[in-house]
Amino acid sequence: ALGSDALAADWRGRIADRVTTVEHPEGDQPALAAAMRGGAAHVLTHDDDLQSAATGAALAGRVSVSVKSPRAFARLFDPASLYPVVVGGDYPGPDRDPRA
């Protein structure tokens, strides 16, 4: 409801050269394995088991990754503070056309 096939295709085209495909052993939890082997700082998931304190404790010392629901991440993430460092220049704001 928030996008279209054209927007998704444009997004895929823009990120294709930034994607890192990783291999992981059979039985690994795919999101955690990809985050660990791909060097991700965050895993966004609706899976309550992955967001649990037990999972956090099991991950501690093995991999430095934050596992949060998308809603929790959105409350904490501040794109304006990262934009000058990661992209450069002034943050254009969240309401710009992502295809621009």
Residue type, 94: P
Residue 42, strand partner residues: 66
Q: Quick count: other Cβ atoms within 10 Å of Cβ 40?
A: 18
Whether the predicted model's global pTM rises above the 0.85 cut: no
Give the separation between CA 92 and CA 19, rounded to whole angstroms.
23
How far apart CA 97 and CA 62 sit, in angstroms, is 38
Ranges of each domain in the chain:
5-86
pLDDT tens digits for 49-95?
999 999 989 888 888 899 999 999 989 889 899 899 988 999 988 87
Burial class (CB in 10 A: 0-12, 13-18, 19+), 37: middle
The pLDDT tens digits for 36-58 are 888 888 999 999 999 999 998 98
